[in-house]
Amino acid sequence: MEKLLSVCIIAKNSDSTIENCLKSVYNIADEIIFVDTGSTDKTIDIAKKFTDKIYNFNWEDDFSKARNFSLEFATSKYILIIDSDEELSNPNELISTLNNLDDNIGGLLIKVNSFKVNPSNQIEKMSTDLLRVIANHPEIRFKGRIHEQVFDSITKNGLKIEESNIVINHSGYNLDEVEFKIKQERNLKLLKLALEEDPSNLYLLNHLAKTLVALDSREDAIKIFKIVIEKSQDIGTYTIESMNYLTSLFIQEKNFTDAIKCAEKSLTSISNQVLPHFLLGEIHYFTNRYDIAYQNYKKCLSLLQNESSFSSNIIGQSHIPLEKIHFKIGETLTALAIYDDAIESFENGLSNNPTDVFCLLGIVNVLIKTKKLELAQAFFTQVKNIHPENELVKDIDNRFFQKNQPTIQPINSNKGIKPLLSLAMIVKNEEEFLEGCLQSVQGIADEIIIVDTGSSDKTIEIAKKFTNNIFHFEWIDDFAAARNEAIKHCTGDWIFYLDADERLNVSNQNAFINFIKEIPQNIGGVNCIIESRHYKLDDDTEVHRGGYPRLFRNLGFPKIEFRGRVHEQISPSLLEQGMSFINSDILIEHLGYNQDREVMEQKVKRNYKLLLQHIQEQPTNGYAWYQLGQTLAQMKLNKEAEEAVRFAIDCKNLSKSVMASAAATLSQITGNQKKFEEALHWAEISLENASDQIYASHLKAFALLYLNRYSEAESLFREILVKINRKKGMPMSGFDIEIPTDIIIKGLDKAINKNANI
């Protein structure tokens, strides 16, 4: 009786995976052909438990030669090709399929699931259709040093290739960083050797580009993918794959214009692909066009659920897991505030994979958004039990659920223990704001130091509810002098300073205190995020986001001191002590600039007076000139503001972050004057000093638009939408301004329309 199945394996130093591989095929194989290419571990010893057909092959940097060597020993009707880091998932399905196979079938496409653990400890799966079962025929042989193929030899012999339901699970990509790099560099070496022999082979070039992506050589990869697409005479698997890879790379670079063009070109070639529709969904989701994103994700789902319409017989065709599509649909519906349908979509994803962390957290997110907090807490507890070590789960736990935990007692509640954190404040007539400020630091500050500069309202009475450390200081038109008076009274290891119209926003007090305790000794200052809603003198408002060192190590006055009559700084003295700074996500909400016109005018006039004194005392202090320019702009003295900011830059002593802000200010001023070339210049200078800004990016985009550079403007507007949609963090410039999404969308639409009419 003719034997049905031979299993052929080539391996080297695979003792960690080979036993599971052989176990998965042992009960169905009529024979196992094991070819070793130079193992020095226990691989061969393990193989001997399962087969006596073990052969040695001298490795020649050529996978096809090794594969074809193994085929020579196969004596069954069909051959399964499996690697040592793979396992056959459904062996009985394979035997059933082979027993019912027509004689004109020369190969079967197998779904190979590759698994890896991402940085969030979530297992990611990528499924690919590969030709792994072949008829045992003397003229069916592999070709190619690496990424070897047998497809051509099957079709040349008049045989067909058929899809199947057979599954192989592959663990070979679940490597640590070093092992992964070694594997990819080996592939790179073999691909270069193969291309020396056949330099115009587009299949090899496609794989070379993919390997370069894995090695983070993206620019080189993009060039090669473009060559593959340009030189293709007809549309083949590798051409489609190059288009789809290129789309992904453009998305990563936030080049959404080219990404859309590439995805649409791929779909023009083969319309019923899932991946390009998915990538288009990602683009539109990132740019806040949720309704369009929803349609693309729904198209993916329709294609996946209708196998007859899905492109078949594409070797190497990747599959996106159903649960991921359901999650994306649910995420988009959440953004559109269609919450019931979003929940249903997440549940559909869980019906396909009951432990999918993204769908589980999607449900938690909807419950939070719809204020069903008790239900959210209960459901989240179940999620934590399923994924106790998942970083996404931990992050949500810290950011939302832990904020309702009981606050800790101040460290200095036990007498004799030195305080960890002192709060230092200067105040005057702050009865409206002070209590809310001090309530925000309860349980965090071990010591509160209040320096009053002449209050005549209930400020001191309110302060006494929270501390006995209240001191008086005569106001001398110098904020730094008042701040330094507060420093002198601080005994904590660290000093945190707030104004009365500010609020510390901390969701987890324990985490905040532990963060301070664990700061390295060389760090002297911690930059905090300050969000201010500014009421402008033209009755409009805008949100400013700044990064400032509000938390610093107490080295004692005068080693550390504030400098500057107004917009005073602690950083210079810390730098002189050899200390460094780190960024943090500590958030301070500032209410003081969101006040009526009269109050704001008084503040502006006060700052103007103090800044004039400052520059008279230090005429080449660029930071003081910059702040004077900002104040003059608030006073609508635009010409004087421009001159002050230009002089600030000419002083050549601005930090990179302040330089970024100064250049952005000049970009705005010159743009308002319709000097768009100069506006573009200053926006680019700003971005050179702090690249991840929204404010300067939007100034550049509009400058490009008004210079008729529509394609560049369109691409940048799309990038800005992604930035706006991102989690807000520490700005790289001295400050950043929150630009309303509708302004960016209007600019984008104008650029698209102008570009289309060229």
What integer pLDDT is reported at residue 308 of this predicted model? 44
Is residue 124 over pLDDT 70? no
Residue 555 pLDDT grade (very low, low, confident, very high; cuts 50, 70, 90): very high
pLDDT at 541 over 60: no
Per-residue pLDDT tens over the stretch 220-274 = 888 888 888 888 766 566 788 888 888 988 888 888 888 999 999 888 888 888 8
Poorest-pLDDT segment among 473-482, 624-633, 671-680: 624-633
Task: Specify the pLDDT at position 539.
Answer: 46
User: Is the model more confident about 455 or about 337?
Assistant: 455
pLDDT at 317 over 60: no
pLDDT (tens digit per residue) in 318-355 = 678 889 999 999 999 998 889 999 999 999 999 988 98
**Residue 142: predicted pLDDT:** 93
pLDDT interval class at 312 (50, 70, 90): very low
Taking alpha carbons only, the member of 754, 738, 666 closest to residue 705 is 754
What average pLDDT does this structure show over 480-503? Answer: 94
User: What percentage of the chain has pLDDT greater than the value 70?
Assistant: 88
Residues in the chain, overall count: 758
Of 11-20, 36-45, 171-180, which gets the smallest average pLDDT? Answer: 171-180
- CATH topology agreement for domains 1-173 and 407-595: yes
Produce one character per residue of 99-111: b if its CB has 16 or more CB atoms within 10 Å, e if not.
eebeeebbbbbbb
Which are the contacts of 114, defined by CB distance < 8 A and separation ≥ 6?
125, 126, 127, 128, 170, 171, 172, 173
Predicted pLDDT of residue 378:
87
Mean pLDDT over residues 594-605, rounded?
65
The pLDDT, as a whole number, for residue 418 is 67
Give me the pLDDT at residue 151, please: 86
**Helix axis angle, 656-672 to 695-706, nearest 10°:** 30
CB 717 within 8 A of CB 701: yes
Residues 6+ apart with CB under 8 A from 151: 107, 131, 161, 315
pLDDT level of residue 536 (50, 70, 90 thresholds): very low
Residue 598's pLDDT is 65
Instruction: For CA atoms 337, 744, 733, 547, give the dihedral sign.
Output: negative
The region of weakest confidence among 123-132, 198-207, 223-232, 498-507 is 123-132
pLDDT of residue 530: 86
Among 85-89, 125-129, 513-517, the range scoring the smallest mean pLDDT is 125-129
726: DSSP letter: S
The model's confidence at residue 121, banded by pLDDT at 50, 70 and 90, is: very low
Calpha distance 637→412 (Å, rounded): 50
Q: What is the mean pLDDT of residues 480-502?
A: 94
Q: Kindly state the percentage of the chain with pLDDT values over 90.
A: 41
Q: How many CB atoms lie within 10 A of CB 121?
A: 15
Weakest-pLDDT range from 258-262, 648-652, 721-725: 721-725
Report how far residue 291's alpha carbon sits from residue 299's, in angstroms, rounded to the nearest whole number.
Answer: 13
Q: What is the pLDDT of residue 581?
A: 85
Domain 407-595 has CATH 1.10.630.10: no
Q: Is the pLDDT of residue 416 over 60?
A: no
Domain definitions of the chain by residue range: 1-173, 322-404, 407-595
245 within 8 A of 222, measured Cβ to Cβ:
no
Q: Is the pLDDT of residue 307 over 80?
A: no
pLDDT at 8: 97
Is residue 311 scored above 50 in pLDDT? no
Highest mean pLDDT out of 124-128, 202-206, 424-428, 544-548: 424-428
Q: Copy the structure tokens of residue 282.
A: 């990602």
638 three-class SS? helix
Most confidently predicted of 201-205, 241-245, 355-359: 355-359
CA distances to 301, 376, 600 from 166, in Å = 22, 40, 71
Q: Which CATH superfamily is domain 322-404 in?
A: Tetratricopeptide repeat domain (1.25.40.10)
Q: What is the pLDDT, as a whole number, of residue 7?
A: 97
State residue 729's pLDDT score.
59
> Any residues with CB less than 8 A from the CB of 97 and at least 6 apart, and which?
108, 164, 165, 166
**Which pLDDT belongs to residue 443?**
84
Q: According to the model, what pLDDT value does residue 748 have?
A: 87
What pLDDT, in 10s, does the model give residues 392-410?
A: 888 777 767 764 443 323 3
* Of 534 and 111, more confident: 111
CATH of 1-173 among 3.90.550.10, 1.10.1740.110, 3.40.50.720, 3.40.50.150: 3.90.550.10
Give the Å distances, CA to CA, from 728 to 358, 405, 692, 732: 21, 25, 11, 12
Residue of 751 and 72 predicted with greater confidence: 72
Half-sphere exposure of 103 (CA within 13 A, CB side): 0
Q: Which of 207-211, 324-328, 659-663 has the highest mean pLDDT?
A: 324-328
State the first-to-last Cα distance of the chain, in angstroms, to the nearest integer.
72
